[in-house]
Structures are given as structure tokens and as C-alpha cells.
Amino acid sequence: MSSTWGNQLKLSIFGESHGDGIGVVLDGLPSGEEIDQGEILTQMARRAPGQNTLSTARKEKDQPEILSGLFEGHTTGTPLCAMIRNQDTHSKDYSELKIHPRPGHADYTGAIRYNGYNDYRGGGHFSGRLTAPLTFSGAVCRQILKRRGILIAAHLFSVGKVKDIPFDPTKTTEKDLHTLLQAPFPVLNTDAGQAMQQEIEDARQNGDSVGGIIECIAIGLPAGIGSPMFDGIENRLSSILFGVPAVKGIEFGNGFAAASLHGSENNDDFILQGDSVRTETNRHGGILGGITTGMPLLFRAALKPTPSIFQKQKTVDLHEHTETTLTIHGRHDPCIAVRAVPVIESAAATALLDLLLEAYGYEFR
Amino acid sequence: MSSTWGNQLKLSIFGESHGDGIGVVLDGLPSGEEIDQGEILTQMARRAPGQNTLSTARKEKDQPEILSGLFEGHTTGTPLCAMIRNQDTHSKDYSELKIHPRPGHADYTGAIRYNGYNDYRGGGHFSGRLTAPLTFSGAVCRQILKRRGILIAAHLFSVGKVKDIPFDPTKTTEKDLHTLLQAPFPVLNTDAGQAMQQEIEDARQNGDSVGGIIECIAIGLPAGIGSPMFDGIENRLSSILFGVPAVKGIEFGNGFAAASLHGSENNDDFILQGDSVRTETNRHGGILGGITTGMPLLFRAALKPTPSIFQKQKTVDLHEHTETTLTIHGRHDPCIAVRAVPVIESAAATALLDLLLEAYGYEFR
Amino acid sequence: MSSTWGNQLKLSIFGESHGDGIGVVLDGLPSGEEIDQGEILTQMARRAPGQNTLSTARKEKDQPEILSGLFEGHTTGTPLCAMIRNQDTHSKDYSELKIHPRPGHADYTGAIRYNGYNDYRGGGHFSGRLTAPLTFSGAVCRQILKRRGILIAAHLFSVGKVKDIPFDPTKTTEKDLHTLLQAPFPVLNTDAGQAMQQEIEDARQNGDSVGGIIECIAIGLPAGIGSPMFDGIENRLSSILFGVPAVKGIEFGNGFAAASLHGSENNDDFILQGDSVRTETNRHGGILGGITTGMPLLFRAALKPTPSIFQKQKTVDLHEHTETTLTIHGRHDPCIAVRAVPVIESAAATALLDLLLEAYGYEFR
Amino acid sequence: MSSTWGNQLKLSIFGESHGDGIGVVLDGLPSGEEIDQGEILTQMARRAPGQNTLSTARKEKDQPEILSGLFEGHTTGTPLCAMIRNQDTHSKDYSELKIHPRPGHADYTGAIRYNGYNDYRGGGHFSGRLTAPLTFSGAVCRQILKRRGILIAAHLFSVGKVKDIPFDPTKTTEKDLHTLLQAPFPVLNTDAGQAMQQEIEDARQNGDSVGGIIECIAIGLPAGIGSPMFDGIENRLSSILFGVPAVKGIEFGNGFAAASLHGSENNDDFILQGDSVRTETNRHGGILGGITTGMPLLFRAALKPTPSIFQKQKTVDLHEHTETTLTIHGRHDPCIAVRAVPVIESAAATALLDLLLEAYGYEFR
């Protein structure tokens, strides 16, 4: 196993950064779902590189070709495969990395894990490029979820030391999310967005990079989804989210902040809102006991700064077995968190659809 | 599915807080492993309630009875089942909770998920008591890991606002961990431990509770364990760790702190240490690309404050469909993080053994 | 993995023939299902040994104790564990078998697989005794299926050279199955039953044993259950059925006989029966493309003769590494197929409930 | 789930008969395995249609394009994806089948299962064409197995009433298998082969079809592979083999014949052969207790006659809800068993590699 994920909906991602193609098989999608391919391209474009100076100079059309599972515009219910050709590859840039592993990258662990046979070019299967098929998966799943009233969106909660305003955990509306999803830069506060872009540009000019936190929300989820102890929402979301390169932490609701609070500060009182049981606050992030409460689902993912920086770093020569230094060339995002926003949403959309299929079955309408 | 976890080593946990018994089946253990039952009891005792005023007044011997899988003191390789009888149960304490769900608890979501048929007494299957079989699992797995040079230990990184000193991420030794594992209170700095105990006692006297962060380290792991994208160390550890009640966040290495750093501050240079490739620092927490680097594995889990507090709280009456108030009685830890320390270690031990069995097979010696 | 089975409903069987106890965890049962424990005992009794001279002299009450997952007479939806104590064990009978593996048994392969640490007493985890927890599982699942109009029953299709009449593949009714389930000997034709019992008695008196074929039917299944290519009904049923010791073949509908037919002889024409699409004949056994057609599901399992016979056999001495002979003592059924009838039904019931939960979700009513 | 299979080696098959492409992702292959692409084409050619009048007139080059997982001629250890374009498709032939389901086919169950959204053209995902990616998988896996001394081959055990001679269950050699694998028609006895071809030609001329049995052997497997109760060799092989369209029965060793024997006739005595423990006969088919004995692994799969026959058959009109008749046109093999021979071998090769990876880990050399 490894790049296969899911229970009722199985995701199988393949490809290497500089190989012939990358893609994904989605096995277990409900049948009869109309798929808007324009909407898929919109989502792919949100992740695609080459849009501005904030991202890698690599340009990829990221045009997925659907090989199966779609017939007359609707899902067949049998496996849907989408393939994306790799085109703008500069493999010569990477030849040094086979023997001089980049600090903070998987060059070294990949070589150990695969006995030196891993495709090291551009990070191979470890590359951020593998998030394109995951974004495709999310672009399909979120259409299916939307038809059932479930909307997912994310923003940059922080970049380096600059913070956006957080989601309103109880009152965020569909309209808020539509606005966010169409924003040119994924923040709730445009001033914060400007400052973040400056932070990133500063890092880029220093040949450096910077990390960020992505906050994601899902509204419209019914209560009662998820199963203790190990198929709860947190377990399942984290098991897919840590598959997004650079993610080093996940928290739900108050998350780490809850650890410094008292119970009286962290509990959410139950109230009635018309006929519905709700909570007055939403420090629990929409999950209690691994199960949705019906409140917005809220989580944050911490992404480390891009490890590919252009400053001289220490490394080892794996052939000569000596210490040496390395200066990385090539094309790299100074802040991977920006393009990871739709990827995090997509991982969440895929996981939530899987969880709903478990709850309601493949007859799920 | 739900309380079943694992690939090569399958864990199946059963039981409810006030039912006849709780327990665990471990399917896939390597055969021929000598199991020290005294050592199991030592680990169970670290988690057991009733030790001091800091934990619930419930007293349970937590004496696991091994029903299968052990023959002449060694694992047979076929499923090992351990059962623990519930004894000191006060079920009458809980009858109100069926209709008045406790804020921050799974009473409400459990009722929705299971259509009102969940055993609500003492939290049923959601109870912290279900961590006893998980601790048993860890107590078995860590013996098998230790025989292969792998040691796991955890401490209270923080309780409320009080912080312990962190693990040394590069130089922590076996001896350090043995000392920690035998400490009466699981901290590296005894002064911090005293302050934490005071923090907990203060919360208890206010009828309140307090959260905490647990930091866990594993030393002796070989490089090259774990598989991208979704069977990496982070994915697998988080998928079991979020099964521990009250865990709301997980981070590896620098974790969330990495998000505010530059790449030049977060990367770890590769160096040689004798024949071994190591990193000079260990901000990556022993994992790159989902795969172990051979450096200590380091992660933190955030535990929310115990939701059962003794102050009056708002809730709803699920029968009458009205808003009401609730005052919880019964026996509850004011800081669940304390007893969760061996549980977090145990979840990690179980997950790491599973990952090693994938790497080396069931012939693994 | 190994003794864990299932997707939405996970079965985890534990125990050894002469250990302290055997049992099963059922994780993923729908909540709120009333369970008739008397009915469970009825099913357990159908499988239990010691009823007559046709089965082993070992007497076990096979009284399962439910430790969890049942509350106020209904399933909670969280894991249900049942344990059965081993009582009438004669372990001294088996000590020789550690070094002199019995022909046709798993003594040799168990020793290789588990490096000599397997519990060899009475076959350990390989023992037919492990079908008791599987029967328990079936006894629970068939109550849930029955509530949804699905009935499962099996008969001895053949014992040695003696054949029963087959099920009517299109017209078998609920009443037929109720009659069969209450029959003292599980056949459709009592004369055939008499002849089978004579065949078994003859084998027993010769210190020999005899094989048999079990035919199983399930009526009331909706059309549209199962998923190609690898989660079809045949795949899933066979993957659990081969877990029943002694099963060496499985066939659906016409099965092996279909291989000698022409398409014109094996196809089933579609017809209308009122509003329903049916087939005129049922050579397909209720499954096309891995998916139920709504016709009765029909399969046969071939069970080899009990390998434990009382005639002198050749074997090897694993310590001395010499050839030797062996005369088996102990208590063994001369025809394992008789008591396997409810076991095969139970495996089918468990698998069908799992498949229905996938189709309809855990909200399945 | 559905077209995803495996534990350590995950197979994910996608595609429909008349869609844009079909293919497979193999996730979990050991790294560093040299792959001979000519050998892959040889295996694909054995399954490919259009070779002679015995098979469908559809001609497909079946040229797989490897998109990932192969670098400098060796497996990378990350997912290997192969895609095959569909080319010679006559979709107009099939338009009638959406409303007039073919007897013996999955047209009807597919429509129910997928609510009418299945791609019905050429059987869609149910088509025998989907065995091309499975054959690709086998072509890769058997190269890896061969390097470890394991060889797999199959022959037509019977076609209609014509029987080949069976494999010698104890003495079959590598050379025997090489000869068989290169035979123009896959039989051990060429006279039987001639008679079979006549049987098939007769059926074809009658607008009919005929079934067959495939017998498969694997030699060189070590003892001790497989895990009771549900991950035994029989469970795992059958769970993939029933994914091959038209398979309706599986048996191991003596299989169904064992059911009419006495234990004294079916047991295999253990003997010594030099240093090795062997059995004198091999009625157990190389498996005891679900675990390999080190004797040749032997099983048979029964394939029903191709349901697409050219005689007039009764069916229903799913739109009008009336009974009607159907005459099938299009291109169909009169005996699907012939081309299924390499497919059965391939399913077995895939399953055995998965089982070996579980036993020895991904470090498996």
C-alpha cells in the first residue's frame, strides 16, 4: 500500500514529477453524478503553478484527461481515472540530488526506502506535483457534496508571522465561502493577504521560503457521521491530510489552544435553534467523539516552509560518504501553503465523501 | 469498521465503560515473542485511575486476562485477546445523561450516530476507560520493539499554562527515557511537574478541569520506514492517536511552529556521524516524506480539558426538546492528559510495530 | 492481519482449541437491533459437538458470554464481543503432534509459519473449534437479515458418494427453509439423510472419515448488491468461506458443471413476474457480474474428509528429522461436513450483512 | 471499493470496454526490480483477441503505456500505472443492450447497481477486456516471482466435455512449465488440444459457446506463506480469481473430488526428500490450514460458457416492461476459457506476490 486511501471511496494516486504522467483512480464514486468539467479545470487552476511570481516558474496546463468512469457526462459508478501528462519538465536540474540529498526533503529517505531506485527527478513521487491528482479528486467530490448541501473552503490562516482573521466558527455562510473560493488570494482579510504576499516576496528575494497555516471549514454536514474509535472524522481527515507534502501538524476546533484552557473555557453549551440542537460556540470544531455534531467542521493544517531554498546548505555525499555543501537550483514555490489551499480542501472533500458513503451506502442520494 | 485499526497488525478494541468487560484483540503479532506479564501490569498501572487526587475516584484493578495468543509465555502468532472485567461501576450516576447531553462530550453525537441505542452509561464506548485495552496493546508491542532496540516514552509538555522542558530532539538517550518512564509524575523537570500538579489541583477545587500537551519520542527506529503518500509515519500515527479521547491536535517535529519560520530556520542539515547519515538538528521530528530518517521520532498531541466539569452548564433536553441546565456528578479526572501519557506511548508503539511488520514482514526478527 | 475479516462489518476471531477462551468481536453492526439470545444458543447448539456418535466425543456447552455491544437487549452499534470458555480440554492427547505432524492437518504448516511457537494442542487456532465464534457471528447477523426479509439455510448436498436432492433454485420458499433449519439432520430428503449417516458410521468404524458438500441458499436478497471486480458476491463469500477449516472448493449456481455446458444450456432467460424482473432458471446462482440479480443466491462448498483418522499413517519426526509413523488418538468427527452446515450459513450471513451495509450504509434499516 | 484489491500490493483496475482507456495502478511493488517490457508484451499477446477464429474478431494491440513507477528500467517502488487505449471499438453494436439485457450477462445487474448510469457499451467495466490490465499486472509480478524461483502456469483442464491430462501434482518441473507457456494452444496433451479446438469450432458454428476449466500450478513457493483464518492462500486467491469474468467455481488440490473420498484416500503422508519435508502425494494442492506446504500450489477455476451467443433468447424490455426476444450481434469468443488462461495465471501471480510481501516485507529481496 501507500498512495491508496479510503474505505468506501478508494483513491489511488500515481506518478512522479518528471515521469510520463500523473493521475488518480477514484473507485467507489456514486453513479449518476453529473460532473462539470469546467468546474474541475477551475479547481485545477487554483493549484496550478506558474500563475505569478509567488509560485514556481514551472508552467503546467494540468489538463486532466478522464479515461474511464464518466459516460454521457455522469459518473458510471465504476472507477474513474484521470491522467495528466507531464510536460514542462527540466530533468537536468535534478541530477545532482541523487547523491546530495536536499535538507528538509525526501531525497534521502526516498533513497533509503527504495534502495536507490526512486525516481529522484523533481522529488519523484514525493513532489508537490502529486497534489494535482488529489485536487482533481477533490474537484469531483466537492461537486457531489455540494449537491447534498455540503460546502468546503479554506484560507491562509497565517503565512510566516502574518495572520488572517479566522473563520467565524458558528456563523460562516455559503455566501462567505463562495466569496472566498473566488478570491484571487485565499484570505478573509485582504490587508492580511497583502502583508502575506509581501512576506513571501521577501523570502523569495532572500533565496529563502516561509511556512503557513491553512484553516479549512466544511458547512452543511449532517450530525452523526464518523465512527469511534479509529474511524472518527479526525482520524480519517488526518490520515489523508498528512499525505499532502509539507503538512506537519493538524488540529481540530480549538486544537492546541484547548490544551491551555479550562474545561469551562473550552466546552460548548448545547442550545436549540428552532428544531435543531446546536452549540452556542464551536470550540469542538464540529466533532465530538469522532462524530459530526452538525456544527461547521473546522480544522487547521500547518505547512512547513518549502525546504528547497537557494541558500548554501550542508549535506552529505551519499556516494563518497563525505560532508559537503549544496546550492539548490530549479523552480520552487517560496511558500507552498498558498497553492496548498485547494489541495487541503480537496483532501477534505475526498475524505468527507468517503465517510458519507459509509454512513449512507453506495445508494446514497 | 470503527474500533479496528492497522494493516499488518490489526487491533480490535471492544467494550463500554459500564458493560461487563472491555478488551482488545491483537491479530498479526510476530510469533515467539516472550511477553513479561509483570511489565504489562506496570504499564496498565501507569494509566489506571484511583492513584491520587489528581485522577477520578474510580478504582479499577485493570487486571487483563489473556484469553488466547500466548502459549508457554510466548506469542503464538495467532490473535492475542485480553479482557478486563469492569468492576467498580456506578451506573446510577449516569442515567440523566441520556436526555441531557454533557457539553464537550459524545453523549449527543453518540445518540445521533447510534439512534439512541448507544450505552450512555459512563460514556459507553466513548469513555476514557477504553484506553485501558489500548495501553495493554502498547504494553505488548513495546516489549517487542524494545527487543529490536526501539524505545518510546512521553512526558507532559504542558498542563494548562505550565510548560515542562522539551525533549532534546537529537541527544535523548535510552537512559533518559528509562528515568522518565519510572518517574512518579511524567515530566522532565520536577519543578514543572510540581507546578502542573498545582494547576490541576486548582482546577479540581474550582470544579473545573484543564488541558495539556503530551510530547512523545521514539528512539532506535531504523531509517526507511513508512510509505508515501498515505502510509507515512504521520498519517498512520495520527490515524490511531486521534482515537484517544480528547486528542484535538497532532504535530510532528517543529509542527505548527514551523509555519512561522523560514526554510533556512526549519531545514535540518545532513551530517555524518561515524558511518551514519544524521541531521544536525531535528526540526523534522525524524520524518521526511512520511519516512523515518533514523533521527528520533518526535510528536506532540494536544488534549482538551476534561469536558466533565462540576460547574453548571447549559444543555438541551432531548426528550422535551427544551433548553435546560446540567450539573455533572460522578468521578472524573480534572486533567485527562496525565493518565493519557502511557496511552499516547501505547498508540505510538502499536502503530510503529505495525509499520515495521509492513517493512520487514511477519518473519520480522 | 489474518483472523480479521470484512469491510463495513469487521469480524475478529480469536482463540485456540485448548487455550482459556475463544471468541469474536463484531465491529460495525447496525445499532438498535434486538438480539434474541435464545436464538443464538439454538444456532450454537446446531454446531456444538457431543450430540451423537457422528461427532467428536468432546462436549462443550459453547455458552457465549456477551461482554459488550449489547445494551438493554439491543445492539449499541459499537463492537460486540462474545467469549466462550474452553472447558472439556484433554491437552495431553496432543503432545506428540508437536514433532509428528498429522497428514492433512495444519500441524506442519503452523509450525513453519509460526516458527514452532504455535499452540499445537488440538490444532490451536486452526481447530474446527474456531467455527464456534463464527457461528455466533452468523447467529447475530441472521437475526438482522431476517428482519429485512433475508433467510439463509444449508443442507448436506452430499456425504461421500451419497447425494441429497438439491435446492430448487427458483422456487425455494421461506417455509422450506424453516423446515430445513429445524431438521434433526440437515437434508432435504430424509432417506438420503439416513444413507449419509450410515456412510459416516461406516467410516467411523473403519477408523476413517468421509468428506461432503454443503449447499447453501439465501432468499430475499434485493437485486443490485455487490461490486465488480473484486467486491462481488463470489469474491467476498469465498474469501470468508475458505476460512472454514476443511473447505477446499466453492462454486456458485451451476459452478463447475457450467464448464461442460454450452451457453445455450447455461444462460438464464429474463422474464417478468408481475412487476419484477426474474430469470426463468437460476443457473447463475443469483449473481451476474458479481452483483445479486434478486434470484435466490446459491452456492456449494466442498469439505474434505476429516484428516484426523485412526489408521496408521506415515509422517516425519521434526526433531529427529526421520520418517516415522503416527496413530492419532483423541476425539474427532468422522465427517466434519455435518457440523459445518450452520458454520457455512453463518459465514454467508456475516458476509451478506457486510455487503448490505456497504450498499445501504450504517443507517441501514 | 470494488476494483481495488490487495493488502501490501494494491491493484486498482479502471476502464470500460468502449471508453477512452483501461489500465491498472500497482501500488506496493518492491523497488529495484528490472522489468522486461518485451516479456510484458508476450503475456499481453497471449490474452489478446483477434489471433484466430476461436476468439472475438475485435483486434486490439493492447500496447500498455507505462506512465509511472518505472525509472531507468527498474521499478521505483512507488505506484506503477499502465494505460491501454481502446481503439477498435464498435459501440453502435451495443446500443440495444441498454434496454434488452443479455441473459447470463451483467447488463441487468449493472443497470440496477448503478441506477442505469453504467456504461453498457460492450459490457463496460464488466467486459472481459478488463482482464487486459490484470494480465499486465501478472506480467510484472511474475517477473518478480521468477527472480525468486517461483513459476506459474496454467492449462485448459477441460473445454466442454473434452479433458486434457492434469498437471502432475508432485513432479511438475520448471521445464514442463516453460514448454506449456510457449505452447500455441495451452494444453499438456496436444490431442486433447485438437479436440478442444474442434469443440469450440462446433459451438461457434452453432452460434453457441462452451465453458471450460483452467488448472493452474505454482512451483517454487516456500512453505509457511499465508495466514489463517481469512488470509490463507485459498481465501486470497479466490477473492481475486472471482474477479475474472465468467469464473463460477474455484477448487484447490483435490477440491470437490475430496468430498466423496475417505480421509485415508485424501490425506497426504509426510516424507523426507533429502533435507526437505514433503508430502508423498499432493491432494492438498500445496496448502494446509491456509498456509503453503512447499509442495506445488494447485487450483482449478471453472469458467461458464460465454453468455453472448447468437441464438435467439428471451429477455425483458426494461423501458416498456414487457417480455421480448433478443438476438445478439457483435464479436464474442465462443470459449472465453482459452484467453482466460494467462489471466488466471496473472491473478495468481499478483496474489502470490502480495502474500510474499506480507511474509517478507517491502524489503523483500
Q: Give the neighbor-by-neighbor strand order of the sheet with D10-15.
A: D4-5, D10-15, D21-27, D80-85, D65-68
D324 lies in which domain range? Answer: 4-364
pLDDT of residue A355: 97
Convert B46-108 into a string of H (helix), E (strand) and C (coil): HHCCCCCCCCCCCCCCCCCEEEECEECCEECCCCEEEEEECCCCCHHHHHHHHCCCCCCCCHH
Chains touching chain A through at least 3 C-beta pairs below 8 angstroms are B, C, D
Pair type for strands B291-292 and B322-326: unpaired
Q: Say which range, B182-191, C345-354, D122-131, D325-334, has the weakest mean pLDDT.
A: D325-334
The Cα of A72 is separated from the nearest Cα of chain B by a number of Å equal to: 32
Q: Using one digit for the tens of pLDDT, what is the confidence trace for A238-252?
A: 999 999 999 999 999
pLDDT of residue D52: 56
Among chain B residues, the shortest Cα distance to A272 is held by B323
Q: Provide, as residue numbers in chain B, all residues whose Cβ is less than 8 Å from the Cβ of A266.
A: 104, 211, 304-305, 307
Quote the mean pLDDT of chain B: 94
Residue C83, chain B, CB below 8 Å: the answer is yes
- Give bridge partners of residue A301 from the DSSP assignment: A214, A250
pLDDT of residue B330: 74
Residue D91, chain A, CB below 8 Å: the answer is no
- Report CB contact under 8 Å: C267, D103: yes
Residue with the three cell numbers 449516569: B94
* Residue ranges in chain A modelled with pLDDT below 50: none
Q: Is the pLDDT of residue D93 over 90?
A: no
Q: Which of B305, B261, B309, B306 is nearest to B283 (CA)?
A: B261
pLDDT of residue C56: 60
Q: Give the phi and the psi of residue C354 in degrees, each rounded to 5.
A: -60, -45
Contact at 8 Å (CB) between C17 and B101? no
pLDDT of residue D62: 80
* CA–CA separation, C88 and C59 (whole Å): 6
Residue C256, chain B, CB below 8 Å: the answer is no
Q: Which residues neighbour B182 within 8 Å (Cβ) at sequence distance 6 or greater?
A: none
113-132 of A, contacting D, C-beta below 8 A: 113-119, 124-125
Q: Using one digit for the tens of pLDDT, what is the confidence trace for D217-273?
A: 999 999 999 999 999 999 999 999 999 999 999 999 999 999 999 999 999 999 999
Q: Which of B109, B153, B137, B133 is nearest to B60 (CA)?
A: B133
Q: Using one digit for the tens of pLDDT, what is the confidence trace for B193-229?
A: 999 999 999 999 999 999 999 999 999 999 999 999 9
pLDDT of residue B149: 97
* CA–CA separation, D7 and B354 (whole Å): 13
Angle CA C167–C171–C172, to nearest 5: 50
Q: Using one digit for the tens of pLDDT, what is the confidence trace for B266-325?
A: 999 999 999 899 999 999 999 999 999 999 999 999 999 999 999 999 999 999 999 999
Q: Provide, as residue numbers in chain B, all residues whose Cβ is less than 8 Å from the Cβ of A231.
A: 1-2
Going by pLDDT thresholds of 50, 70 and 90, the confidence category of residue D98 is confident
Q: Which of C291, C296, C357 is nearest to C144 (CA)?
A: C357
Q: Using one digit for the tens of pLDDT, what is the confidence trace for D289-300?
A: 999 999 999 999
Residue D168, chain C, CB below 8 Å: the answer is no
Counting residues of chain B whose pLDDT is more than 90, the rounded percentage is 89
The Cα of D110 is separated from the nearest Cα of chain A by a number of Å equal to: 10
- Report CB contact under 8 Å: D14, A79: yes
Residue A133, chain D, CB below 8 Å: the answer is no
Angle CA C33–C34–C36, to nearest 5: 135
pLDDT of residue D172: 98
Residue A359, chain C, CB below 8 Å: the answer is yes
Q: Using one digit for the tens of pLDDT, what is the confidence trace for C335-362?
A: 999 999 999 999 999 999 999 999 999 8
Q: Provide, as residue numbers in chain B, all residues whose Cβ is less than 8 Å from the Cβ of A330.
A: none
| Facing residue for D361 by CB, picked from B28, B78, B359 | B359
Quote the mean pLDDT of chain D: 94
The Cα of D360 is separated from the nearest Cα of chain B by a number of Å equal to: 4
| Facing residue for C10 by CB, picked from B1, B66, B69 | B1
Q: Provide, as residue numbers in chain B, all residues whose Cβ is less than 8 Å from the Cβ of A285.
A: 248
Mutate to test the interface with B, among D358, D360, D365 (most CBs of B within 10 A): D358
The Cα of A68 is separated from the nearest Cα of chain B by a number of Å equal to: 23
- Report CB contact under 8 Å: A28, D79: no
pLDDT of residue B88: 66
pLDDT of residue B306: 96
Q: Which of C66, C83, C84 is nearest to C75 (CA)?
A: C66
Q: Using one digit for the tens of pLDDT, what is the confidence trace for D331-356?
A: 789 999 999 999 999 999 999 999 99
Contact at 8 Å (CB) between A290 and A281? no
Q: What is the DSSP string of D310-358?
A: SS-EEEEETTTTEEEEE---S---S-HHHHHHHHHHHHHHHHHHHHHHH
Q: Say which range, A57-66, C150-159, D66-75, D304-313, has the weakest mean pLDDT.
A: A57-66
Convert chain C into a string of H (helix), E (strand) and C (coil): CCCEECCCCEEEEECCCCCCEEEEEEECCCCCCECCHHHHHHHHHHHCCCCCCCCCCCCCCCCCEEEECEECCEECCCCEEEEEECCCCCHHHHHHHHCCCCCCCCHHHHHHHCCCCCCCHHHHHHCHHHHHHHHHHHHHHHHHHHCCCCEEEEEEEEECCEECCCCCCCCCCHHHHHHHHHCCCCCCCHHHHHHHHHHHHHHHHCCCCECEEEEEEEECCCCCCCECCCECHHHHHHHHHCCCCCEEEEEECCHHHHHHCEHHHHCCCEEEECCEEEECCCCCCCEECCEECCCCEEEEEEECCCCCCCCCEEEEECCCCEEEEECCCCCCCCCHHHHHHHHHHHHHHHHHHHHHHHHHCCCCC
Residue C284, chain D, CB below 8 Å: the answer is yes
pLDDT of residue C275: 87
* CA–CA separation, A127 and A24 (whole Å): 15
Counting residues of chain D whose pLDDT is more than 90, the rounded percentage is 89
Q: Give the phi and the psi of residue A116 in degrees, each rounded to 5.
A: 80, 5
Residue with the three cell numbers 511438475: D172
What's D291's domain CATH number? 3.60.150.10
| Facing residue for D4 by CB, picked from A27, A68, A74 | A27
Going by pLDDT thresholds of 50, 70 and 90, the confidence category of residue B48 is confident
Angle CA C225–C227–C229, to nearest 5: 150
pTM of this structure: 0.97
Q: Using one digit for the tens of pLDDT, what is the confidence trace for C182-201?
A: 999 999 999 999 999 999 99
pLDDT of residue C271: 97
45-64 of A, contacting B, C-beta below 8 A: none
What number of C-beta contacts closer than 8 Å exist between C and D? 366
Average pLDDT over residues C274-278: 93
Q: Is the pLDDT of residue C329 over 90?
A: no
First vs last Cα of chain C: how many Å apart? Answer: 30
| Facing residue for A256 by CB, picked from B103, B256, B337 | B256
Instruction: Say how many domains are in chain C.
Output: 1
